[in-house]
Amino acid sequence: MHLLVIFGIALLVFGPKKLPELGKGIGEGIRGFKSAMKEEEKPANVKPIIAGAYGQKSRSQTALLGRVLLWVQGRS
């Protein structure tokens, strides 16, 4: 019953010629949203720049990161 009322109001507001275009636009938007959500669910094969093998930092990476952090703190 509620859907019929909503459809009737939409028919009065947009008219019979614009209603199919409106439905098509809403459908495309929902399909785009679903496909974007599916892409987010896929695990990305991205390796962090700082992390070495198995997620552990090497000594040189740790030293470099420490120097960068000190430099940033000194500029604050």
Which domains does the chain show, CATH number per domain? 1-45 (1.20.5), 46-76 (no CATH)
Using CA atoms of 15, 16, 18, 20 in order, give the dihedral in degrees to the nearest 10: 140
- What are φ and ψ of residue 51, in 5° steps? -75, 140
> Quick one: pLDDT at residue 75?
72
Look at residue 62 in the predicted model and tell me its pLDDT.
Answer: 77
pLDDT of residue 49: 58
Whole-number pLDDT of residue 23: 85
Query: How high is the mean pLDDT in each 10-residue block of the chain (76 residues)?
Result: 86 86 88 83 60 59 79 75
